[in-house]
Amino acid sequence: MVVGMAGSGKTTFMQRLNAHLHQKKEPPYIVNLDPAVKNVPFDRHIDIRDSVNYKEVMKQYNLGPNGGIMTCLNLFATKIDQVLGILEKRAPTLSRILVDTPGQIECFVWSASGAIVTDALASSFPTVLAYIVDTPRTTSTSTFMSNMLYACSILYKTKLPMIIVFNKTDAQDALFAKEWMTDFETFQAALRKEEEKEDGVNSGYMGSLMNSMSLMLDEFYNHLDVVSVSSMTGAGIDDFFKAVDSKVEEYKRDYLPELEKARKEREKRKEEDKNEQIDKLMADMKVAESSSRGKPRKNKKVSASEPEIDTLSDAMDSDSDEAMEGDPEPEDGTNDGRMEDDSLVDRYERALHRDGGKEDTTDESFMRYLNAPR
């Protein structure tokens, strides 16, 4: 991944890397993440401009240049899984994947979408950051220190191997910068020399501040590989790829275990959150069940003529009784109207007394059953 300040020569550097790899018969897979670039001097396999229109985003959302870039990156980050799917399919036949980032470095490095893209790539492929420095503009100690501080912040933000690339060495040799990074006394001498200038740019608190920062960055320099290249002439490109290969080994040795550890911790937290939600759901269900058990049943008011329904057969009988509510109720000692003149009771009474008043006890009990109120 190529990052760097605006005007440091990232696009020209990408073009030189592409030409060098094609010359070695190892064509790279190129991804462009700069939505605002107008012309790109190399072929792209994945281009953010194919899916997001930068000017249309600025118009629709009423944004400025930086806001438009960040919004385009946010929209593109929602499809990063599809990008990873494409790259993983191509990976067996590829040796290098080159990613060009927007010229406004803060829009990519410090945005949420930039972190999503970087983390997604780093979790799937050995990823190395190439921080491009404009060498002619870094001859001042203050500018040099600003670049190093920015590189330090990006290193600890992304937690990925980084290579400092001093570009445009055809215009300015980067030997002075390498000496400042490796020899503290040399940087102090350059700092004192600038303090003695008549303009006094680095006088006072500025000189003391840069002295302190140079001491602090001494440990930071030990974790960096530094190369000098010229995107115009191609000088130093081989040294750059050697540094990349060494950083890949560093990625596998140091950074990959940390990424795996972070991934396991995220999965563990997700599993704990899931179990916590399940426990809450089960607790809510138990509370609801216990409350329903302890709550008395609200029985329907039952009148004397309407028995309580306890079983399905009773419910069916009740339904049949309700269906016959409109029928006239039979009088006492009569049938329900289905027999015309002679009821069953009357016919039985006549049969019971036909032998001169002699009654049968069995028939009498049956008579009581018939006359019992129902």
- Whether 330 contacts 339, CB under 8 Å: no
- What pLDDT is stored for residue 188 in this prediction? 85
Q: Please report, for residues 8, 27, 112, 248, 255, the alpha-carbon distance to residue 96 in angstroms, rounded to integers and kept in the order given.
A: 22, 8, 25, 12, 19
More confidently predicted of 292 and 228: 228
Structural domain boundaries enclosing 125: 2-252
- What pLDDT is stored for residue 85 in this prediction? 93
pLDDT surpassing 90 at residue 234 = yes
Residue 277 in any domain: the answer is: no
Strands in the chain per DSSP E: 2-4, 29-32, 46-47, 97-100, 129-134, 162-167, 225-228
pLDDT surpassing 70 at residue 13 = yes
If you search the block for the tokens 């001042």, which residue do you land on?
140
pLDDT surpassing 90 at residue 240 = yes
φ/ψ of residue 296, rounded to 5: -65, 145
How many CB atoms within 10 Å of residue 42? Answer: 17
Residue 275 in any domain: the answer is: no
CATH number for the domain that contains residue 92:
3.40.50.300
pLDDT surpassing 50 at residue 212 = yes
- Whether 111 contacts 70, CB under 8 Å: yes
pLDDT surpassing 50 at residue 300 = no
Nearest to 51, CA basis, from 83, 29, 28: 83
pLDDT surpassing 70 at residue 316 = no
DSSP 167-231: E-TTTS-SHHHHHHHH-HHHHHHHHHHHHTSTT-TT-THHHHHHHHHHHHHHHHHTT-EEEE--T
pLDDT surpassing 80 at residue 151 = yes
Longest CA–CA separation in the chain, Å: 154
pLDDT digits (tens, 9 = 90+) for 318-336: 444 544 444 444 444 444 4
Residue 311 in any domain: the answer is: no
- What pLDDT is stored for residue 260 in this prediction? 80
- What pLDDT is stored for residue 94 in this prediction? 87
- Whether 131 contacts 223, CB under 8 Å: no
Number of domains, the chain: 1
pLDDT digits (tens, 9 = 90+) for 107-136: 898 899 999 999 899 988 999 999 999 999
pLDDT surpassing 80 at residue 54 = yes
How many CB atoms within 10 Å of residue 45? Answer: 16
Residue 197 in any domain: the answer is: yes
Q: Please report, for residues 59, 70, 137, 261, the alpha-carbon distance to residue 63 in angstroms, rounded to integers and kept in the order given.
A: 7, 10, 31, 39
pLDDT digits (tens, 9 = 90+) for 24-33: 999 999 999 9
- Mean predicted lDDT score pLDDT of the chain: 80
More confidently predicted of 51 and 301: 51
Residue 279 in any domain: the answer is: no
How many CB atoms within 10 Å of residue 198? Answer: 5
Q: What percent of the chain has pLDDT over 70?
A: 74
pLDDT surpassing 80 at residue 187 = yes
State the pTM of this model: 0.70
Burial of 89 (0-12, 13-18, 19+ CB in 10 A): exposed
More confidently predicted of 254 and 324: 254
Residue 33 in any domain: the answer is: yes
- What pLDDT is stored for residue 296 in this prediction? 53
Residue 357 in any domain: the answer is: no
pLDDT category, 294, cuts 50, 70, 90?
A: low
- Whether 225 contacts 163, CB under 8 Å: yes
